[in-house]
Amino acid sequence: MDEKNNGAAGAAEDEEIDFVQIAGIVLNGRYYAIMQPAELLEGMDEDEALIFDATEAKNGGEVELVDDDDIIDAVFAEYYRLVEQEKGN
Q: What is the pTM of this model?
A: 0.77
Q: Are 6 and 19 within 8 A, CB to CB?
A: yes
pLDDT in tens, 8-66: 554 555 678 899 999 999 999 999 999 999 998 889 899 899 999 999 988 888 899 99
In a domain, 1, yes or no: no
pLDDT in tens, 55-64: 998 888 889 9
What is the domain count for the chain? Answer: 1
In a domain, 58, yes or no: yes
In a domain, 77, yes or no: yes
Domain range for residue 59? Answer: 6-88
Burial class (CB in 10 A: 0-12, 13-18, 19+), 74: middle
